[in-house]
Amino acid sequence: MLTKRIIPCLDVQNGRVVKGVNFTNMKDAGDPVEIAEIYDKAGADEIILLDIGASPGSRNSIIDMIKKVAGRIEIPFTVGGGIRTVADLEEVLDAGADKISINTAAVKNPDLLSEAASRFGNQCIVVAIDAKKRSDGSGWDVYINGGKHNTGKDVIEWVFELEELGAGEILLTSMDRDGTRDGYDIELVQKVAKSVMIPIIASGGAGRMEHFYEALKEGEADAALAASLFHFKEVEIMELKNYLRDKGIEVRI
């Protein structure tokens, strides 16, 4: 049985970690370098750092932040936000990131994935999907630009395509559940997990420890991601891992 992973997410805006609800109403949660180090010591398996305010002008500050984080933690970390070219990707990996998360650029330029996977290996290519359920309940659409634009792409069709293009992992966020603490969208996670062979990280909606169990067991996710629940110390990572282990989920203690 493969070990399941617990991953804190750092949404970074203007050099600070922030957290909102349904992608809005952001609140300050602290310094990203300090928080990353805390999670490393607390038993996190990986860290994902997303520059949600990414712009060409912010690139230098993010590169500097990546170098600082890489110098302070031992666990793998993924960086996403504003990565549009292979040169961007290479710069972030050279700064110390272990993986790259691509969202909008993957939709706009699918060839970027193929080229990046060929050059750097698909193990370091994570594609983030912001998914929102259609009002008629028929499935989920893929959104880009920080959840602002509906591409009209069907999530299940998109993950098939991504696997073919060379994505090594999917970071799947339910926009409907993001920040609500009502639990992950298990139906969404399970359908995506059953559709492809590559690992799925469930994101959006964690509110208590049972939600992680549901995502990993019923949703068949390979990893579960959360932000505010960890940032505000409502759940400690090792407490969560012990709970999951007692429930029969294989985790790294």
54-65 pLDDT tens trace: 654 455 568 999
**Taking the domains of the chain in order of start, what are their residue ranges?**
5-246
Q: Single out the catalytic residue among 11, 45, 51, 141.
A: 11
Mean pLDDT of 53-82: 83
CATH class belonging to 5-246: alpha beta
Q: Single out the catalytic residue among 51, 130, 141, 185.
A: 130
Average pLDDT of the chain to the nearest whole number: 92
pLDDT at 22: 55
Q: Which two tokens stand for residue 159?
A: 């993950």
pLDDT at 56: 47
Confidence of residue 19 (pLDDT cuts 50, 70, 90): confident
Distance CA 221, CA 7 (A): 12
Range in 146-150, 182-186, 223-227 the model is least confident about? 146-150
Q: Which residues pair with 49 in a beta bridge?
A: 10, 79
Q: How many CA atoms lie within 13 A of 50 on its CB side?
A: 27
Q: Is 31 a catalytic residue?
A: no
Q: Is 130 a catalytic residue?
A: yes
Distance CA 2, CA 249 (A): 10
In one-letter notation, the amino acid at residue 229 is L
pLDDT at 105: 93
Q: How far is CA 98 from CA 31, 64, 147, in A?
A: 20, 15, 25
